[in-house]
Amino acid sequence: MENEETFWGRVNSLIRLRNTTQKALSIKCGFNERRIQNLSGGDRLPDCIEAVLIAKNLGTTVEYLVTGELTDSATELNELKKKLLEFVQSVL
């Protein structure tokens, strides 16, 4: 099981949650298709620009990826997303 207490653990958890891959996320961020795999495999952190792109494309914040903590507004947004998802699933 992935350690969700690390930057890459949180990234990989969000990748799985969104049913995507490291390769697809790399491409979506505009990186070489193996960039995220190479960084996470070597347990190296991305530079700040890469971290922003990764967070943005995963629908989260750099703060969450680095610390595991959400800001108040991010927490509220996540709660709204959960409720919306539950509603959509109940309708389907």
Domain boundaries, the chain: 7-91
Whether residue 91 contacts residue 33, with contact meaning beta carbons closer than 8 Å, is answered with: no
Q: What is the architecture of the domain spanning 7-91?
A: Orthogonal Bundle (1.10)
15 confidence band (pLDDT: 50, 70, 90): very high
Sign of CA dihedral 31, 39, 21, 81: negative
Q: Residue 67: which H helix or E strand, with range? A: helix 62-67
CA-only gyration radius of the chain, Å: 14
Average pLDDT, the chain: 91
Q: Say which amino acid occupies 15.
A: I
Do the beta carbons of residue 15 and residue 25 sit within 8 Å? yes
Q: What is d(CA 19, CA 60) in angstroms, rounded to the nearest whole number?
A: 16
Q: Supply the pLDDT for residue 8.
A: 96
**Higher-pLDDT residue of 81, 7:** 7
Confidence at residue 73, expressed as pLDDT on a 0 to 100 scale: 75
